[in-house]
Protein backbone atom coordinates (compact mmCIF):
# COMPACT_ATOMS: atom_id res chain seq x y z
CA UNK A 1 0.00 0.00 0.00
CA UNK A 2 1.05 3.53 -0.68
CA UNK A 3 -0.38 6.61 0.98
CA UNK A 4 -1.51 9.99 -0.28
CA UNK A 5 1.02 12.27 -1.99
CA UNK A 6 1.42 15.54 -0.14
CA UNK A 7 4.10 17.11 -2.26
CA UNK A 8 6.51 16.33 -5.07
CA UNK A 9 9.46 18.64 -5.59
CA UNK A 10 12.15 18.72 -8.24
CA UNK A 11 14.52 16.74 -6.08
CA UNK A 12 12.17 13.79 -6.41
CA UNK A 13 11.32 13.55 -2.65
CA UNK A 14 7.73 12.49 -1.95
CA UNK A 15 5.91 13.42 1.24
CA UNK A 16 3.04 11.09 2.16
CA UNK A 17 -0.13 11.26 4.25
CA UNK A 18 -2.21 8.23 5.13
CA UNK A 19 -4.55 7.19 2.37
CA UNK A 20 -4.95 3.68 1.17
CA UNK A 21 -4.36 3.35 -2.56
CA UNK A 22 -4.09 0.25 -4.62
CA UNK A 23 -1.48 0.59 -7.30
CA UNK A 24 0.26 -2.75 -7.49
CA UNK A 25 -0.73 -3.21 -11.15
CA UNK A 26 0.99 0.02 -12.07
CA UNK A 27 4.56 0.39 -13.16
CA UNK A 28 6.81 3.35 -14.02
CA UNK A 29 5.76 4.84 -17.34
CA UNK A 30 8.42 5.83 -19.86
CA UNK A 31 7.00 9.32 -20.09
CA UNK A 32 8.38 12.69 -19.18
CA UNK A 33 7.46 16.33 -18.65
CA UNK A 34 4.40 17.50 -20.67
CA UNK A 35 6.72 19.98 -22.36
CA UNK A 36 9.86 17.88 -22.21
CA UNK A 37 9.59 14.16 -22.79
CA UNK A 38 13.14 13.65 -21.52
CA UNK A 39 12.35 15.11 -18.08
CA UNK A 40 12.49 13.00 -14.91
CA UNK A 41 9.91 15.32 -13.31
CA UNK A 42 7.19 14.18 -15.67
CA UNK A 43 8.31 10.59 -15.40
CA UNK A 44 7.64 10.80 -11.65
CA UNK A 45 4.43 12.72 -12.17
CA UNK A 46 3.01 10.00 -14.40
CA UNK A 47 4.12 7.27 -11.98
CA UNK A 48 2.32 9.01 -9.14
CA UNK A 49 -0.76 9.73 -11.22
CA UNK A 50 -0.82 6.05 -12.04
CA UNK A 51 -0.56 5.22 -8.32
CA UNK A 52 -3.54 7.42 -7.55
CA UNK A 53 -5.76 5.66 -10.10
CA UNK A 54 -7.17 2.19 -9.31
CA UNK A 55 -7.70 1.60 -13.04
CA UNK A 56 -4.12 2.31 -13.99
CA UNK A 57 -2.21 -0.33 -15.93
CA UNK A 58 1.40 -0.37 -17.06
CA UNK A 59 2.06 1.81 -20.12
CA UNK A 60 -1.60 2.88 -20.30
CA UNK A 61 -0.44 6.30 -21.40
CA UNK A 62 1.11 4.87 -24.56
CA UNK A 63 4.62 4.53 -25.98
CA UNK A 64 7.46 7.00 -25.96
CA UNK A 65 7.08 9.85 -28.44
CA UNK A 66 8.75 9.16 -31.84
CA UNK A 67 11.67 11.35 -32.87
CA UNK A 68 12.15 13.60 -35.90
CA UNK A 69 15.74 13.07 -37.04
CA UNK A 70 16.27 15.30 -40.09
CA UNK A 71 15.58 18.77 -38.68
CA UNK A 72 15.98 20.55 -35.34
CA UNK A 73 13.45 22.68 -33.51
CA UNK A 74 13.42 26.17 -35.11
CA UNK A 75 15.37 24.68 -37.99
CA UNK A 76 15.15 25.26 -41.72
CA UNK A 77 13.43 22.37 -43.49
CA UNK A 78 14.84 21.93 -47.02
CA UNK A 79 13.06 18.73 -47.96
CA UNK A 80 9.53 17.67 -48.74
CA UNK A 81 9.60 14.94 -46.09
CA UNK A 82 10.11 14.59 -42.36
CA UNK A 83 11.77 11.35 -41.27
CA UNK A 84 12.51 9.81 -37.93
CA UNK A 85 12.59 6.83 -35.62
CA UNK A 86 10.35 5.24 -32.99
CA UNK A 87 10.66 2.61 -30.28
CA UNK A 88 9.61 -0.99 -30.82
CA UNK A 89 6.34 -0.50 -28.90
CA UNK A 90 5.13 2.06 -31.45
CA UNK A 91 2.78 0.62 -34.04
CA UNK A 92 1.66 3.91 -35.59
CA UNK A 93 3.32 7.34 -35.93
CA UNK A 94 1.04 10.35 -36.33
CA UNK A 95 1.82 13.99 -37.07
CA UNK A 96 -0.22 17.18 -37.02
CA UNK A 97 0.61 20.33 -38.98
CA UNK A 98 -0.24 23.73 -37.48
CA UNK A 99 -2.68 22.24 -34.94
CA UNK A 100 -4.64 20.39 -37.61
CA UNK A 101 -5.84 16.81 -37.51
CA UNK A 102 -3.27 14.07 -36.98
CA UNK A 103 -2.28 12.03 -40.03
CA UNK A 104 -0.39 8.77 -40.20
CA UNK A 105 3.23 8.58 -41.26
CA UNK A 106 4.57 5.87 -43.53
CA UNK A 107 6.29 3.18 -41.46
CA UNK A 108 7.35 3.31 -37.82
CA UNK A 109 11.08 2.73 -37.39
CA UNK A 110 12.07 4.43 -39.53
CA UNK A 111 9.02 6.50 -40.44
CA UNK A 112 8.46 9.10 -43.16
CA UNK A 113 5.89 11.88 -43.50
CA UNK A 114 5.20 13.98 -46.60
CA UNK A 115 4.76 17.72 -46.10
CA UNK A 116 2.09 19.70 -48.04
CA UNK A 117 2.56 19.74 -51.81
CA UNK A 118 1.21 21.51 -54.88
CA UNK A 119 -0.65 24.75 -54.26
CA UNK A 120 -0.61 23.91 -50.53
CA UNK A 121 3.19 23.92 -50.38
CA UNK A 122 4.38 26.19 -47.60
CA UNK A 123 5.81 29.54 -48.62
CA UNK A 124 9.53 29.93 -48.12
CA UNK A 125 10.40 31.56 -44.81
CA UNK A 126 7.10 30.75 -43.11
CA UNK A 127 7.02 29.08 -39.69
CA UNK A 128 5.00 25.96 -38.95
CA UNK A 129 4.29 23.80 -35.92
CA UNK A 130 4.64 20.02 -36.12
CA UNK A 131 3.16 17.80 -33.40
CA UNK A 132 4.11 14.14 -33.26
CA UNK A 133 2.86 11.18 -31.27
CA UNK A 134 3.06 7.40 -31.34
CA UNK A 135 0.37 4.80 -30.74
CA UNK A 136 0.91 1.30 -29.45
CA UNK A 137 -0.99 -1.80 -30.52
CA UNK A 138 -3.89 -0.95 -28.21
CA UNK A 139 -4.15 2.54 -29.70
CA UNK A 140 -2.86 4.38 -26.63
CA UNK A 141 -0.62 7.42 -27.07
CA UNK A 142 0.89 10.05 -24.76
CA UNK A 143 0.49 13.74 -25.21
CA UNK A 144 2.26 14.85 -28.38
CA UNK A 145 5.53 16.76 -28.48
CA UNK A 146 6.01 19.63 -30.92
CA UNK A 147 8.66 21.55 -32.81
CA UNK A 148 8.64 24.67 -34.97
CA UNK A 149 10.03 24.58 -38.51
CA UNK A 150 10.97 27.29 -41.01
CA UNK A 151 10.27 26.49 -44.65
CA UNK A 152 13.27 26.59 -46.96
CA UNK A 153 13.79 25.67 -50.59
CA UNK A 154 13.39 21.94 -51.30
CA UNK A 155 16.84 20.52 -52.03
CA UNK A 156 15.95 16.85 -51.56
CA UNK A 157 15.79 15.23 -54.99
CA UNK A 158 14.96 11.67 -53.95
CA UNK A 159 12.65 12.44 -51.04
CA UNK A 160 14.61 10.58 -48.38
CA UNK A 161 14.52 13.58 -46.05
CA UNK A 162 18.11 14.69 -46.63
CA UNK A 163 19.50 17.61 -48.63
CA UNK A 164 21.39 16.65 -51.78
CA UNK A 165 24.44 18.36 -53.28
CA UNK A 166 25.03 19.32 -56.89
CA UNK A 167 28.61 19.94 -58.04
CA UNK A 168 29.62 21.33 -61.41
CA UNK A 169 32.65 20.58 -63.57
CA UNK A 170 32.13 23.09 -66.36
CA UNK A 171 35.37 22.21 -68.13
CA UNK A 172 34.27 18.58 -68.43
CA UNK A 173 30.73 19.60 -69.42
CA UNK A 174 29.24 17.65 -66.51
CA UNK A 175 27.11 18.12 -63.40
CA UNK A 176 27.13 15.67 -60.50
CA UNK A 177 24.45 15.02 -57.91
CA UNK A 178 25.33 13.44 -54.56
CA UNK A 179 22.52 12.24 -52.32
CA UNK A 180 22.70 13.19 -48.66
CA UNK A 181 21.99 10.73 -45.84
CA UNK A 182 22.13 10.46 -42.06
CA UNK A 183 25.86 9.86 -42.48
CA UNK A 184 26.37 12.61 -45.03
CA UNK A 185 28.07 11.85 -48.34
CA UNK A 186 30.57 9.00 -48.32
CA UNK A 187 31.72 8.84 -51.93
CA UNK A 188 35.32 9.85 -52.61
CA UNK A 189 35.18 10.39 -56.37
CA UNK A 190 33.02 12.28 -58.85
CA UNK A 191 32.53 9.14 -60.92
CA UNK A 192 30.69 7.57 -57.95
CA UNK A 193 28.09 10.33 -57.79
CA UNK A 194 24.44 9.30 -57.39
CA UNK A 195 23.74 10.92 -60.77
CA UNK A 196 26.12 12.16 -63.47
CA UNK A 197 24.69 14.48 -66.14
CA UNK A 198 26.49 15.41 -69.35
CA UNK A 199 25.93 18.38 -71.64
CA UNK A 200 25.03 18.05 -75.29
CA UNK A 201 28.25 19.45 -76.81
CA UNK A 202 31.62 19.43 -75.07
CA UNK A 203 31.96 23.22 -75.28
CA UNK A 204 28.57 23.97 -73.69
CA UNK A 205 29.97 24.71 -70.20
CA UNK A 206 27.23 22.48 -68.86
CA UNK A 207 27.41 22.75 -65.06
CA UNK A 208 28.53 26.38 -64.92
CA UNK A 209 25.60 27.12 -62.58
CA UNK A 210 23.36 24.80 -60.53
CA UNK A 211 20.20 25.11 -58.43
CA UNK A 212 17.74 22.89 -56.55
CA UNK A 213 14.04 23.54 -55.88
CA UNK A 214 10.61 21.99 -56.40
CA UNK A 215 9.23 23.55 -59.61
CA UNK A 216 6.30 21.12 -59.98
CA UNK A 217 5.24 20.98 -56.34
CA UNK A 218 5.36 17.18 -55.98
CA UNK A 219 7.50 17.25 -52.84
CA UNK A 220 10.75 16.27 -54.58
CA UNK A 221 13.48 18.80 -55.33
CA UNK A 222 14.26 19.36 -59.01
CA UNK A 223 17.75 19.99 -60.42
CA UNK A 224 18.47 22.92 -62.72
CA UNK A 225 21.74 23.07 -64.67
CA UNK A 226 23.03 25.99 -66.70
CA UNK A 227 25.11 25.67 -69.88
CA UNK A 228 26.03 29.21 -70.89
CA UNK A 229 28.28 28.05 -73.76
CA UNK A 230 25.55 26.22 -75.67
CA UNK A 231 25.24 27.13 -79.38
CA UNK A 232 27.81 29.90 -79.72
CA UNK A 233 27.13 31.03 -76.14
CA UNK A 234 23.41 31.53 -76.67
CA UNK A 235 23.06 29.33 -73.60
CA UNK A 236 20.54 26.86 -72.24
CA UNK A 237 19.22 25.69 -68.89
CA UNK A 238 17.89 22.23 -68.11
CA UNK A 239 15.50 21.02 -65.43
CA UNK A 240 15.51 17.41 -64.25
CA UNK A 241 12.55 16.41 -62.08
CA UNK A 242 13.18 14.60 -58.82
CA UNK A 243 11.32 11.46 -57.75
CA UNK A 244 11.50 8.69 -55.16
CA UNK A 245 14.23 7.19 -57.36
CA UNK A 246 16.04 10.50 -57.68
CA UNK A 247 17.14 11.53 -61.17
CA UNK A 248 17.86 8.75 -63.62
CA UNK A 249 18.74 10.85 -66.68
CA UNK A 250 22.35 10.99 -67.81
CA UNK A 251 22.23 13.42 -70.73
CA UNK A 252 21.07 17.02 -70.95
CA UNK A 253 18.88 16.21 -73.93
CA UNK A 254 16.74 14.00 -71.64
CA UNK A 255 15.85 16.88 -69.30
CA UNK A 256 12.18 17.32 -68.41
CA UNK A 257 12.34 20.87 -69.74
CA UNK A 258 14.88 23.07 -71.52
CA UNK A 259 15.03 26.86 -71.68
CA UNK A 260 17.10 28.54 -74.41
CA UNK A 261 18.62 32.00 -74.66
CA UNK A 262 17.59 34.41 -77.39
CA UNK A 263 20.77 35.43 -79.23
CA UNK A 264 24.28 34.08 -79.61
CA UNK A 265 26.86 35.44 -77.22
CA UNK A 266 24.37 36.25 -74.45
CA UNK A 267 25.65 33.58 -72.00
CA UNK A 268 22.18 32.60 -70.78
CA UNK A 269 22.69 30.08 -67.97
CA UNK A 270 23.08 31.45 -64.42
CA UNK A 271 20.29 29.79 -62.40
CA UNK A 272 18.42 29.94 -59.11
CA UNK A 273 15.06 28.60 -57.96
CA UNK A 274 12.44 30.05 -55.57
CA UNK A 275 8.74 30.91 -55.38
CA UNK A 276 8.39 34.56 -56.39
CA UNK A 277 4.60 34.54 -56.80
CA UNK A 278 3.71 32.48 -53.74
CA UNK A 279 1.62 29.87 -55.56
CA UNK A 280 3.42 26.90 -54.01
CA UNK A 281 5.47 26.10 -57.11
CA UNK A 282 9.10 27.21 -57.21
CA UNK A 283 10.06 29.43 -60.13
CA UNK A 284 13.25 29.54 -62.19
CA UNK A 285 15.40 32.66 -62.56
CA UNK A 286 18.05 32.67 -65.28
CA UNK A 287 20.73 35.26 -65.89
CA UNK A 288 22.22 36.10 -69.29
CA UNK A 289 25.15 38.33 -68.45
CA UNK A 290 25.91 39.47 -72.00
CA UNK A 291 22.36 40.02 -73.25
CA UNK A 292 21.45 43.38 -74.76
CA UNK A 293 25.02 44.49 -75.56
CA UNK A 294 26.23 43.11 -72.23
CA UNK A 295 23.78 45.14 -70.19
CA UNK A 296 22.71 41.72 -69.04
CA UNK A 297 19.26 40.35 -68.34
CA UNK A 298 17.36 38.01 -66.04
CA UNK A 299 14.36 35.91 -66.99
CA UNK A 300 11.71 34.46 -64.67
CA UNK A 301 9.88 31.25 -65.60
CA UNK A 302 6.95 30.33 -63.33
CA UNK A 303 6.57 26.82 -61.99
CA UNK A 304 3.32 24.84 -62.11
CA UNK A 305 1.97 21.36 -61.40
CA UNK A 306 3.70 20.22 -64.59
CA UNK A 307 6.88 22.15 -63.89
CA UNK A 308 8.37 24.77 -66.22
CA UNK A 309 7.70 24.67 -69.92
CA UNK A 310 10.37 24.14 -72.54
CA UNK A 311 10.89 27.27 -74.60
CA UNK A 312 12.84 30.41 -75.40
CA UNK A 313 13.77 33.12 -72.94
CA UNK A 314 11.56 35.37 -75.04
CA UNK A 315 8.58 33.48 -73.57
CA UNK A 316 9.62 34.06 -69.95
CA UNK A 317 6.93 35.30 -67.56
CA UNK A 318 8.98 38.42 -66.88
CA UNK A 319 12.31 39.97 -67.88
CA UNK A 320 14.62 42.42 -66.14
CA UNK A 321 17.32 44.29 -68.11
CA UNK A 322 20.56 45.83 -66.87
CA UNK A 323 21.24 49.56 -66.94
CA UNK A 324 24.21 50.13 -69.25
CA UNK A 325 26.20 48.21 -71.83
CA UNK A 326 28.95 46.19 -70.18
CA UNK A 327 27.27 45.98 -66.74
CA UNK A 328 26.95 42.17 -66.90
CA UNK A 329 23.70 42.26 -64.94
CA UNK A 330 22.84 38.67 -63.99
CA UNK A 331 26.35 37.63 -62.94
CA UNK A 332 24.86 36.19 -59.75
CA UNK A 333 21.27 35.47 -58.68
CA UNK A 334 19.38 34.50 -55.55
CA UNK A 335 15.71 34.22 -54.63
CA UNK A 336 14.63 34.88 -51.02
CA UNK A 337 12.12 36.93 -49.03
CA UNK A 338 13.67 40.18 -47.76
CA UNK A 339 10.44 41.85 -46.57
CA UNK A 340 8.62 38.83 -45.09
CA UNK A 341 5.49 39.26 -47.20
CA UNK A 342 5.36 35.61 -48.25
CA UNK A 343 6.66 36.26 -51.76
CA UNK A 344 10.31 35.55 -52.51
CA UNK A 345 12.31 38.42 -53.98
CA UNK A 346 14.99 38.37 -56.67
CA UNK A 347 18.51 39.60 -55.90
CA UNK A 348 20.81 40.18 -58.88
CA UNK A 349 24.47 41.12 -59.09
CA UNK A 350 26.05 43.16 -61.89
CA UNK A 351 29.79 42.86 -61.35
CA UNK A 352 30.83 45.35 -64.05
CA UNK A 353 28.32 48.13 -63.38
CA UNK A 354 29.56 51.63 -62.56
CA UNK A 355 32.95 51.19 -64.23
CA UNK A 356 33.50 47.76 -62.65
CA UNK A 357 32.67 48.89 -59.12
CA UNK A 358 29.63 46.65 -59.42
CA UNK A 359 26.05 46.83 -58.17
CA UNK A 360 23.35 44.68 -56.61
CA UNK A 361 19.61 44.91 -57.21
CA UNK A 362 16.55 43.55 -55.40
CA UNK A 363 13.17 43.12 -57.12
CA UNK A 364 10.27 42.37 -54.76
CA UNK A 365 8.01 39.42 -55.44
CA UNK A 366 4.21 39.58 -55.44
CA UNK A 367 1.18 37.46 -56.29
CA UNK A 368 2.01 38.10 -59.94
CA UNK A 369 5.72 37.43 -59.48
CA UNK A 370 8.57 39.79 -60.41
CA UNK A 371 7.62 42.73 -62.60
CA UNK A 372 9.03 43.36 -66.07
CA UNK A 373 11.78 45.96 -65.78
CA UNK A 374 13.27 47.76 -68.77
CA UNK A 375 16.22 49.06 -66.74
CA UNK A 376 17.46 47.68 -63.43
CA UNK A 377 17.80 51.22 -62.11
CA UNK A 378 14.07 51.01 -61.29
CA UNK A 379 14.53 47.97 -59.02
CA UNK A 380 13.04 48.19 -55.53
CA UNK A 381 16.58 48.35 -54.16
CA UNK A 382 19.76 49.43 -55.94
CA UNK A 383 23.06 49.15 -54.07
CA UNK A 384 26.15 50.63 -55.68
CA UNK A 385 29.55 49.07 -55.10
CA UNK A 386 32.68 50.86 -54.03
CA UNK A 387 36.25 51.08 -55.28
CA UNK A 388 37.52 50.67 -58.81
CA UNK A 389 37.18 47.12 -60.14
CA UNK A 390 35.46 46.08 -56.92
CA UNK A 391 33.17 43.66 -58.78
CA UNK A 392 30.53 44.11 -56.07
CA UNK A 393 27.77 41.57 -56.68
CA UNK A 394 29.86 39.32 -58.88
CA UNK A 395 30.58 36.53 -56.40
CA UNK A 396 27.20 35.91 -54.85
CA UNK A 397 24.06 37.59 -53.48
CA UNK A 398 22.56 35.01 -51.06
CA UNK A 399 19.65 35.82 -48.75
CA UNK A 400 19.10 34.49 -45.21
CA UNK A 401 17.93 35.72 -41.81
CA UNK A 402 21.08 36.51 -39.82
CA UNK A 403 19.48 38.46 -36.95
CA UNK A 404 16.29 36.43 -36.60
CA UNK A 405 13.82 39.25 -37.17
CA UNK A 406 11.94 37.34 -39.86
CA UNK A 407 13.33 39.39 -42.75
CA UNK A 408 15.84 37.92 -45.17
CA UNK A 409 19.20 39.67 -45.13
CA UNK A 410 21.31 40.19 -48.26
CA UNK A 411 24.97 39.12 -48.34
CA UNK A 412 27.00 40.50 -51.25
CA UNK A 413 30.54 39.65 -52.29
CA UNK A 414 33.01 42.00 -53.95
CA UNK A 415 36.24 40.11 -54.66
CA UNK A 416 38.04 43.00 -56.33
CA UNK A 417 37.57 45.66 -53.63
CA UNK A 418 40.63 47.49 -52.32
CA UNK A 419 39.78 48.15 -48.67
CA UNK A 420 43.10 49.86 -48.01
CA UNK A 421 45.52 46.97 -48.45
CA UNK A 422 45.63 46.71 -52.23
CA UNK A 423 43.60 45.58 -55.22
CA UNK A 424 41.67 42.32 -55.01
CA UNK A 425 41.76 42.38 -51.21
CA UNK A 426 38.06 41.71 -51.34
CA UNK A 427 35.11 42.44 -49.09
CA UNK A 428 31.73 40.96 -48.24
CA UNK A 429 28.76 43.10 -47.21
CA UNK A 430 25.69 42.22 -45.13
CA UNK A 431 22.51 44.27 -45.56
CA UNK A 432 19.66 43.66 -43.12
CA UNK A 433 16.14 43.17 -44.42
CA UNK A 434 13.04 44.99 -43.18
CA UNK A 435 9.32 45.31 -43.85
CA UNK A 436 10.23 47.33 -46.92
CA UNK A 437 12.99 44.98 -48.05
CA UNK A 438 16.64 46.08 -48.21
CA UNK A 439 16.78 49.85 -47.52
CA UNK A 440 20.48 50.46 -48.24
CA UNK A 441 21.70 52.04 -51.48
CA UNK A 442 25.47 52.13 -50.93
CA UNK A 443 27.89 49.33 -50.12
CA UNK A 444 29.40 51.51 -47.42
CA UNK A 445 26.06 51.58 -45.55
CA UNK A 446 26.03 47.80 -45.01
CA UNK A 447 25.16 46.51 -41.56
CA UNK A 448 28.46 44.62 -41.47
CA UNK A 449 31.51 44.51 -43.75
CA UNK A 450 34.06 41.70 -43.78
CA UNK A 451 37.45 42.52 -45.33
CA UNK A 452 40.26 40.39 -46.71
CA UNK A 453 43.55 40.05 -44.85
CA UNK A 454 45.80 41.33 -47.62
CA UNK A 455 45.93 42.40 -51.24
CA UNK A 456 45.12 39.74 -53.84
CA UNK A 457 43.18 37.52 -51.39
CA UNK A 458 39.96 37.99 -53.37
CA UNK A 459 37.79 37.50 -50.30
CA UNK A 460 34.16 37.59 -51.36
CA UNK A 461 32.75 34.19 -52.27
CA UNK A 462 29.69 34.18 -49.99
CA UNK A 463 27.04 31.87 -48.52
CA UNK A 464 24.53 31.89 -45.65
CA UNK A 465 23.37 28.98 -43.46
CA UNK A 466 22.82 28.03 -39.83
CA UNK A 467 25.84 25.95 -38.90
CA UNK A 468 25.21 25.77 -35.13
CA UNK A 469 21.46 25.22 -35.16
CA UNK A 470 20.51 28.27 -33.12
CA UNK A 471 17.98 29.53 -35.67
CA UNK A 472 20.15 32.39 -36.96
CA UNK A 473 21.92 32.29 -40.33
CA UNK A 474 25.72 32.37 -40.16
CA UNK A 475 28.14 33.79 -42.72
CA UNK A 476 30.56 31.75 -44.84
CA UNK A 477 33.16 33.60 -46.91
CA UNK A 478 35.82 32.29 -49.26
CA UNK A 479 39.15 33.86 -50.25
CA UNK A 480 40.37 31.71 -53.15
CA UNK A 481 43.67 33.50 -53.74
CA UNK A 482 44.73 33.75 -50.11
CA UNK A 483 48.35 32.70 -49.45
CA UNK A 484 49.50 32.17 -53.04
CA UNK A 485 46.12 30.73 -54.05
CA UNK A 486 46.10 28.04 -51.38
CA UNK A 487 42.81 29.61 -50.41
CA UNK A 488 40.82 29.85 -47.19
CA UNK A 489 37.22 29.98 -46.02
CA UNK A 490 35.84 31.64 -42.91
CA UNK A 491 32.73 31.12 -40.78
CA UNK A 492 31.31 34.06 -38.83
CA UNK A 493 28.60 33.01 -36.38
CA UNK A 494 25.57 35.22 -35.85
CA UNK A 495 25.40 36.64 -32.34
CA UNK A 496 21.61 36.37 -32.45
CA UNK A 497 19.44 39.46 -32.71
CA UNK A 498 22.59 41.56 -33.08
CA UNK A 499 23.65 39.75 -36.25
CA UNK A 500 27.37 40.08 -36.96
CA UNK A 501 29.88 42.91 -36.69
CA UNK A 502 32.34 44.23 -39.24
CA UNK A 503 35.60 42.30 -39.01
CA UNK A 504 38.38 40.53 -40.84
CA UNK A 505 39.29 36.84 -41.08
CA UNK A 506 41.22 37.01 -37.81
CA UNK A 507 37.88 37.43 -36.03
CA UNK A 508 36.24 34.48 -37.78
CA UNK A 509 34.87 31.79 -35.49
CA UNK A 510 36.25 29.05 -37.74
CA UNK A 511 38.75 28.90 -40.61
CA UNK A 512 39.28 26.19 -43.22
CA UNK A 513 42.54 26.21 -45.19
CA UNK A 514 43.36 24.73 -48.60
CA UNK A 515 46.16 22.25 -49.18
CA UNK A 516 48.72 23.72 -51.59
CA UNK A 517 49.31 26.86 -53.61
CA UNK A 518 47.30 27.11 -56.79
CA UNK A 519 44.32 25.09 -55.51
CA UNK A 520 42.00 28.13 -55.35
CA UNK A 521 40.22 26.67 -52.34
CA UNK A 522 37.35 29.03 -51.50
CA UNK A 523 34.23 28.49 -53.60
CA UNK A 524 31.75 28.14 -50.73
CA UNK A 525 28.29 26.81 -49.96
CA UNK A 526 26.22 25.73 -46.93
CA UNK A 527 24.18 22.47 -47.00
CA UNK A 528 22.97 20.26 -44.16
CA UNK A 529 24.08 17.08 -45.89
CA UNK A 530 23.52 14.72 -42.95
CA UNK A 531 20.24 16.17 -41.67
CA UNK A 532 21.43 16.85 -38.13
CA UNK A 533 20.16 20.43 -38.20
CA UNK A 534 23.58 22.03 -38.68
CA UNK A 535 24.50 23.46 -42.09
CA UNK A 536 27.71 21.84 -43.24
CA UNK A 537 30.51 23.85 -44.84
CA UNK A 538 31.11 22.95 -48.49
CA UNK A 539 34.24 24.32 -50.16
CA UNK A 540 35.49 23.79 -53.69
CA UNK A 541 39.08 23.95 -54.89
CA UNK A 542 38.42 23.98 -58.62
CA UNK A 543 42.09 24.27 -59.60
CA UNK A 544 43.27 21.42 -57.38
CA UNK A 545 45.67 18.87 -58.87
CA UNK A 546 44.67 15.81 -56.86
CA UNK A 547 47.92 13.96 -57.45
CA UNK A 548 47.02 12.74 -60.91
CA UNK A 549 49.22 15.12 -62.85
CA UNK A 550 46.42 17.34 -64.10
CA UNK A 551 45.96 20.98 -63.19
CA UNK A 552 42.43 22.25 -62.61
CA UNK A 553 41.09 18.75 -61.97
CA UNK A 554 39.31 20.01 -58.87
CA UNK A 555 38.20 18.74 -55.47
CA UNK A 556 35.28 19.44 -53.13
CA UNK A 557 35.45 19.25 -49.34
CA UNK A 558 32.64 18.77 -46.82
CA UNK A 559 33.16 19.85 -43.20
CA UNK A 560 30.39 18.69 -40.85
CA UNK A 561 29.05 21.29 -38.46
CA UNK A 562 27.83 20.75 -34.91
CA UNK A 563 26.10 22.57 -32.04
CA UNK A 564 29.16 24.76 -31.53
CA UNK A 565 29.38 25.60 -35.23
CA UNK A 566 31.89 24.44 -37.81
CA UNK A 567 35.54 23.44 -37.41
CA UNK A 568 38.89 25.09 -38.04
CA UNK A 569 40.98 22.68 -40.03
CA UNK A 570 42.96 21.95 -43.16
CA UNK A 571 41.12 20.67 -46.22
CA UNK A 572 43.01 17.39 -45.91
CA UNK A 573 41.07 16.75 -42.69
CA UNK A 574 37.61 17.32 -44.16
CA UNK A 575 34.90 14.82 -43.25
CA UNK A 576 34.46 14.05 -46.94
CA UNK A 577 36.70 14.78 -49.92
CA UNK A 578 35.27 14.32 -53.40
CA UNK A 579 37.86 14.30 -56.17
CA UNK A 580 37.05 15.27 -59.73
CA UNK A 581 37.56 12.87 -62.61
CA UNK A 582 41.19 12.56 -63.72
CA UNK A 583 42.12 15.09 -66.36
CA UNK A 584 43.02 18.74 -66.75
CA UNK A 585 40.84 21.85 -66.81
CA UNK A 586 37.70 20.11 -65.53
CA UNK A 587 37.22 22.61 -62.66
CA UNK A 588 35.25 20.19 -60.49
CA UNK A 589 33.87 22.24 -57.59
CA UNK A 590 33.62 25.50 -59.51
CA UNK A 591 29.85 25.57 -58.85
CA UNK A 592 27.48 24.16 -56.26
CA UNK A 593 23.71 23.82 -56.19
CA UNK A 594 22.20 26.86 -54.48
Higher pLDDT, 1 or 185: 185
* Residue 571: per-residue pLDDT: 97
- The confidence band for 172, taking pLDDT boundaries of 50, 70 and 90, is very high
- The confidence band for 102, taking pLDDT boundaries of 50, 70 and 90, is very high
Measured CA to CA, the distance from residue 525 to residue 220 in angstroms comes to 21
- φ/ψ of residue 517, rounded to 5: -60, 140
Measured CA to CA, the distance from residue 408 to residue 431 in angstroms comes to 9
* Residue 13: per-residue pLDDT: 40
Question: What DSSP character marks residue 565?
Answer: B
* Residue 293: per-residue pLDDT: 95
pLDDT, tens digit, for every residue of 191-202?
999 999 999 999
Among the residue ranges 15-29, 176-190, 520-534, the one predicted with the least confidence is 15-29
Mean pLDDT of 428-446: 96
* Residue 9: per-residue pLDDT: 41
Mean pLDDT of 520-538: 97
> What is 67-151's CATH topology?
Immunoglobulin-like (2.60.40)
Mean pLDDT of 391-400: 98
- The confidence band for 515, taking pLDDT boundaries of 50, 70 and 90, is very high
Indicate if the pLDDT at residue 40 is higher than 50: no
Among the residue ranges 308-312, 317-321, 388-392, the one predicted with the least confidence is 388-392
* Residue 139: per-residue pLDDT: 87
* Residue 328: per-residue pLDDT: 98
pLDDT, tens digit, for every residue of 451-505?
999 999 999 999 999 999 999 999 999 999 999 999 999 999 999 999 999 999 9
- The confidence band for 190, taking pLDDT boundaries of 50, 70 and 90, is very high
Best CA proximity match to 555, nearest among 512, 521, 518? 521
What is the CA angle 424-550-539, rounded to 5?
50
pTM of the full predicted structure?
0.89
Mean pLDDT of 5-34: 39
3-state DSSP of 157-219: CCCCCCCCEEEEECCCCEEEEECCCCCCCCCCEHHHCCEEEECCCCCCCEEEEEEEECCCCCC
pLDDT, tens digit, for every residue of 205-238?
999 999 999 999 999 999 999 999 999 999 999 9
- The confidence band for 361, taking pLDDT boundaries of 50, 70 and 90, is very high
- The confidence band for 547, taking pLDDT boundaries of 50, 70 and 90, is confident
Indicate if the pLDDT at residue 241 is higher than 90: yes
* Residue 60: per-residue pLDDT: 47
Indicate if the pLDDT at residue 4 is higher than 50: no
- The confidence band for 509, taking pLDDT boundaries of 50, 70 and 90, is very high
- The confidence band for 549, taking pLDDT boundaries of 50, 70 and 90, is low
> What rounded mean pLDDT belongs to the chain?
91
Q: Domains of the chain: which residue ranges?
A: 67-151, 153-198+509-593
**Beta strand extents in 222-358 (DSSP E only):** 222-227, 236-240, 257-260, 268-274, 283-288, 297-301, 311-312, 318-321, 329-336, 345-350
Indicate if the pLDDT at residue 51 is higher than 90: no
Amino acid sequence: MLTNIKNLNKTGFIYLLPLSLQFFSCGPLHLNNPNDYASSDYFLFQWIRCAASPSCVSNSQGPETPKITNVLNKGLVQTGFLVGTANADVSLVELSIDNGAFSSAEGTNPWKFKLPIGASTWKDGTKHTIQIRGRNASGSSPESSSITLIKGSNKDVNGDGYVDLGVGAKGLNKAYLFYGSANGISTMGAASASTVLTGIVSTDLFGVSLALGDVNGDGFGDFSVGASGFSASTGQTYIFHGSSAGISSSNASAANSIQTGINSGELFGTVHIGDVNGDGYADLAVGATSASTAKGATYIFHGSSSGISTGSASAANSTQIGVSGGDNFGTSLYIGDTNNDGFADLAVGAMSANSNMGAAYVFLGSSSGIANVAAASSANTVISGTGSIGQFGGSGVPIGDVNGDGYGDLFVGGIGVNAGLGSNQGQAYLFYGSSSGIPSNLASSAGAILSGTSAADQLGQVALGDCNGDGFADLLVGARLRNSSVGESYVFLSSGSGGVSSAGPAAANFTQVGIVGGDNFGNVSFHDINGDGYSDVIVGAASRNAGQGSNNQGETYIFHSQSTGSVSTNASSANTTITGTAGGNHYFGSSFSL
